[in-house]
Structure 1
Amino acid sequence: MAGEEKNYRSSTGVDEFHYGIVGDELIAASIERVKFLQNITVEMPQEIVPAYGDNTTAELAVSSGDVSVTSGFHKIPIEDKQNLLGWESVEGLTAAGSNDNPPYVACVFAKTYEDGSTEYVGLPKGIFTRPSINGNTKGGSTEFSSEEITAQFMDRQVTGFSEEKSVIFARDAKGDTTNRDALFQKVFGQAYPTTTTTTSSTTTSTTVGA
């Protein structure tokens, strides 16, 4: 908007990684959170493709590749690996194999800023691939391991947009959640998740990740 001051603040943290299995219906049955996100990279490759004629460039076009996401966590719980990767669980054991069929999932994560504002990134439809298994011997000092998982996301029809999209952005000022709530509805087909605790006299609703 003309006259409105642009925001040049850089993010200083990441938080609130949520995912939901959307399948072909593109509406999540439930929204799950994986806590302790450490870092995340969203790559949106593009290249310029030229066409030539008369010894010069006649036209330029943009070729876009699939969006890839690499996420690093302190720990990915086994239940989330089962959900994201289609791993089978039998009698307390979890197994991976060549015939695993990871489901289509949607994801949202948050980038946090020192002024209290938050930018949300939504990824409407993609598939995760199984992570590597790493381990280190314990030495003279304790060191914590971390886990990394990657995914690829594709374009999807998102209500309200004229073209299919693979990444959606939303930003809220400190204390505001309007755009966050709208993004969750677009990406998951349901509201931002809350946990509700009921007692004999009162009902308290607490926002996840607050």
Structure 2
Amino acid sequence: MTEEKNYRASTGVDEFHYGIIGDGLVADAIERVKFLQNINVEMPQEIVRAYGDNTTAEMAVSSGNVSVTSDFHKIPIEDKQKLLGWEKSADGLTGTGSNDNPPYVACVFAKTYEDGHKEYVGLPKGIFTRPNITGATKGESTTFSTEQIVAQFMDRNVDGFEKDHSVIFAEDPSGSTTQRDLLFQKIFGQTYPTTTTTTTTTGA
């Protein structure tokens, strides 16, 4: 009997994790950034045509760069230092400039569904770029700001696949973590953290 397909649409995002992998396949540590609001993974492709005798002789797919745009309630300064290669001075200040050297990182996040199942998206190797600095005056009502950060990802060898890939998907039914655990092992070279290093915000 053919297994019934799942046509439910996601209703939320959660569990954004990253790890610095450098030029290797194993992350130094798996870190969590809480309060992910929106995330967009762009995977552009276009059809390229070759012509002859006034008609199409051949077609092929040309793939563009995989880019990720993420919106958070707030990105803690500790995570910016790690993701963007920002320097922290001995007396606690943080600096960014033309000599920043962002490390290669791997990322995983989850799309959540009302029936309890989750779809995980793994991004094996990429670099984040520093976000813009924005601010606005407080008006009659309180409005919370958001922080957006952008990254680009490249193909990387992932154990179990014959070809290099830039995005890996996993899906677990409600109550199961089998595919999640496998994805974390493939993307970070480490098991899913039961006690995740979490950086929380101390103020909006």
Q: Distance in 2 between matches of 1:26 and 1:45?
A: 25
1:63-107 deviation per Cα after TM superposition (whole angstroms, max 9, x unaligned): 001100000000000000000000000011000000100000000
Equivalence map 1:145-160=2 (5 Å): 145-160=145-160
Q: Distance in 2 between matches of 1:13 and 1:3?
A: 29
Partner of 1:11: 10
Identity of aligned residues (%): 78
Deviation for aligned residue 1:174:
0.6
Q: Distance in 2 between matches of 1:94 and 1:166?
A: 31
How many pairs align? 195
Partner of 2:45: 46
1:156-207 deviation per Cα after TM superposition (whole angstroms, max 9, x unaligned): 01011000000000000011000000000000000001129xxxxxxxxxxx
Deviation for aligned residue 1:29:
1.1
Structure 2 alignment gaps of length 5 or more: 197-204
Report 1 or 2 for greater relative contact order, CA contacts < 8 Å, sequence distance ≥ 6.
2
Q: What is the RMSD computed on CA atoms of the aligned residues?
A: 0.9
1:125-151 deviation per Cα after TM superposition (whole angstroms, max 9, x unaligned): 000000000000011011100000000
Return the TM-score normalized by structure 1: 0.92
Equivalence map 1:51-62=2 (5 Å): 51-62=50-61
SS in 2 for 1:195: coil
Equivalence map 1:41-190=2 (5 Å): 41-90=40-89, 91-190=91-190
Q: Distance in 2 between matches of 1:16 and 1:167?
A: 17
SS in 2 for 1:115: coil
Q: Distance in 2 between matches of 1:30 and 1:195?
A: 11
Q: Distance in 2 between matches of 1:26 and 1:85?
A: 19
Structure 1 alignment gaps of length 5 or more: 197-210
Deviation for aligned residue 1:45:
0.5
Runs of at least 4 residues of structure 1 off by over 2 A? Answer: none
Deviation for aligned residue 1:110:
0.3
